[in-house]
Amino acid sequence: MTQTVDRIAQAGTPQARVEDWLARFEAALAARDIEAAAALFAVDSYWRDLVSFTWNLKTVEGRDGVAGLLGGCLETTDPSGFRTAEPATEADGVTEAWIEFETAVGRAKGHLRLKEEGAWTLLTSLRELKGFEEPQRERRPKGVEHGVVRGRRSWAEKRAEEQEKLGYDQQPYVVVIGGGQGGIALGARLRQLGVPSLVVERNDRPGDSWRKRYKNLCLHDPVWYDHLPYLPFPENWPVFAPKDKIGDWLEMYTRLMEVPYWTRSTVTSAAWDDEAKQWHVTVDRDGEQVVLTPRHVVFATGMSGKPNLPSFPGMDEFQGDQHHSSQHPGPDAYAGKKAVVVGSNNSAHDICAALWEHGADVTMVQRSSTHIVKSDSLMDLGLGDLYSERAVAAGVTTEKADLIFASIPYRIMPEFQIPVYQAIHERDADFYARLEAAGFKHDWGDDGSGLFMKYLRRGSGYYIDVGASELVANGSIKLAHGQVDHLTANSVVLEDGTELEAHVVVYATGYGSMNGWVADLVGQETADKVGKCWGLGSDTTKDPGPWEGEQRNMWKPTQQEGLWFHGGNLHQSRHYSLYLALQLKARFEGIETPVYGLQEVHHLS
């Protein structure tokens, strides 16, 4: 092992060090010398694999973790052809390189970070399957059969016939439940890969899941972060898109990408037939009952699940309007009324601001501390190096940005995030001082790592400020603190006895785990078998252990055969839809997919 460290340390240029490491890594793999391959990693090291080795989304730590992964995957993966994709770089004692390689069944890309002791981080990600490449660029379809063909059918006729037969004469291999951004992105991937699939959506049109939200909703993430697969937003697209504009884009995208999509279709039940190895999915299609028999079902119902509507004493006595934030109709009807919004995260702030703009007397009930970050500061200091015009000018494509993001293992991501939020704190010190002076309870996460880690650790407790925080700081939006005790006919009463007069109460109280939909449609036994979705097991607030190393149950096999979850923000819907689609394509084509490190079930509160 001493010789290994010396050779890495003395190998000359960054490019030479990377090439030397790759050559020795490949040689050890070819010789099936797992101990030698593991010795090329630092003692504190991390290997994140996205499907290429593990047919899973899996992160292992340290040399023992590397050895375990290789022991379980090396023979079937048979990797080869490791090479750099562009010149290596070095900064602060860390050498970085983009790499490419092949496996027995696919082509992969990755990212390597080397320290003197060996590999510190390694990302490996499957990009395509050999023999089943997407019809892009030089492989794009011709689109027409030149010549004179008797009885020729047009594209529109063929498309209409396909849509008419799907779900009746021809069964989909995959049914995707939920036709929002996640379902649409996955549907587009599956379509391009030639996997018979169907996206089932209860709304009238693609994009309605956005159109039906409160009317002032806009994306809080910038446009460069939010592209969908294949079709990026136009270069004149607004930085923060209004929700109705996003709805129109999703509807257009669904048509242009020919995503097989049923509207006005509600899944009422789903049952797994273990003998036939298929699902029976019952769909109410605009009043018609249809039973689909796919091999795989994907729940694409967002990163969260069903709305968490609390049950407080007196709710049945309250004489005003009350609803969950997901059902908020907008502020128009509440001009001059007293509004109480229970919650203090993204939706709560947006709804409070809109109500205030329309003349309502607004009180926000803050039940626990919330992390706030100004949108401009997040763009400049948090996302700008990867997702911005300056990133585009520097040659950082969306795919490259996604892989850079993915190359940082979740265990050490706080190390990268803490300095960002320290810089934001310093830049906006006056802003935070005014918020706290107004009585707003603010935090930076359990370890100071800020917004993105909060999002990954169960997705709550933050607000990207696009204006509402100023209304809180100057007192325009009133603050109350504590838990709700009960409601009366015309007020909300907190545990300390504070009584807040109200004509409307909005419960901005978040969402449950996605497996709540599984409990409703498949059964509680299957939901328990799968376990909770989302969260890393970081043992921080709202994210109890044990440590998982990846998002629970997302975009990867679960304990229930044929059951998958897909969701998250637009960035995650874009990026991780590739890996989920490749896993489904491999199964469709009969490729062996031995899963390494299937997630265990931990029953979380």
d(CA 202, CA 198): 13
Categorize the per-residue pLDDT at 2 as very low, low, confident or very high, splitting at 50, 70 and 90: very low
- Give pTM, 2 decimals: 0.94
pLDDT digits (tens, 9 = 90+) for 329-349: 989 999 999 999 999 999 999
Q: Per the structure block, which two tokens stand in for 371? A: 């992390």
pLDDT digits (tens, 9 = 90+) for 14-23: 999 999 999 9
Closest CA to 286 of 357, 205, 228, 358: 205
Q: Give the pLDDT of residue 304.
A: 58
- Start-to-end CA distance of the chain, whole Å, equals 44
Q: Give the pLDDT of residue 301.
A: 85
Q: Is the CB of residue 223 less than 8 Å from the CB of residue 241?
A: yes
d(CA 25, CA 231): 37
How many CB atoms sit inside 10 A of residue 417's CB?
A: 23
Write down the residue that tokens 């249809």 correspond to: 290
Question: Is residue 5 predicted with pLDDT exceeding 60?
Answer: no
Q: Looking at 77-81, 154-158, 194-198, which range is the least confident one?
A: 154-158
Q: Looking at 105-114, 177-186, 287-296, 457-466, which range is the least confident one?
A: 457-466
Q: Give the pLDDT of residue 146.
A: 84
d(CA 193, CA 258): 12
* Residue range 416-442: mean pLDDT, rounded: 96
Closest CA to 376 of 491, 315, 465, 306: 465
Question: Is residue 11 predicted with pLDDT exceeding 70?
Answer: no
pLDDT digits (tens, 9 = 90+) for 171-188: 999 999 999 999 999 999
* Residue range 137-166: mean pLDDT, rounded: 89
Categorize the per-residue pLDDT at 145 as very low, low, confident or very high, splitting at 50, 70 and 90: confident
Total residue count of the chain as it appears in this document: 605
* Measured CA distances, 538 to 219, 354, 371 (Å): 27, 35, 18
* Residue range 414-425: mean pLDDT, rounded: 96
Q: Looking at 65-74, 145-154, 256-265, 440-449, which range is the least confident one?
A: 145-154
Q: How many Cα neighbours within 13 Å face the side chain of 457?
A: 26
Type and span of the H or E element at 349 = helix 346-357
Extract long-range pairs of 57-60: CB within 8 Å, 24+ residues apart.
57/550, 57/551, 57/554, 57/555, 57/556, 57/576, 57/579, 58/549, 58/550, 58/596, 58/597, 59/409, 59/410, 59/411, 59/549, 59/550, 60/549, 60/597
Question: Is residue 483 predicted with pLDDT exceeding 80?
Answer: yes
* Residue range 357-376: mean pLDDT, rounded: 96
* Residue range 123-150: mean pLDDT, rounded: 91
Average pLDDT, the chain: 94
Q: Give the pLDDT of residue 9.
A: 47
428: left (phi over 0), alpha (psi -120 to 50) or beta: alpha
Q: Give the pLDDT of residue 97.
A: 98
Categorize the per-residue pLDDT at 458 as very low, low, confident or very high, splitting at 50, 70 and 90: confident
The domains of the chain, with CATH numbers, are 2-129 (3.10.450.50), 158-306+512-588 (3.50.50.60), 321-507 (3.50.50.60)
State whether residue 51 is helix, strand or coil: coil
Question: Is residue 315 predicted with pLDDT exceeding 50?
Answer: yes
- What is the residue-wise DSSP string for 517-541? HHHHHT-HHHHHHH---S----SBT
Question: Is residue 29 predicted with pLDDT exceeding 50?
Answer: yes
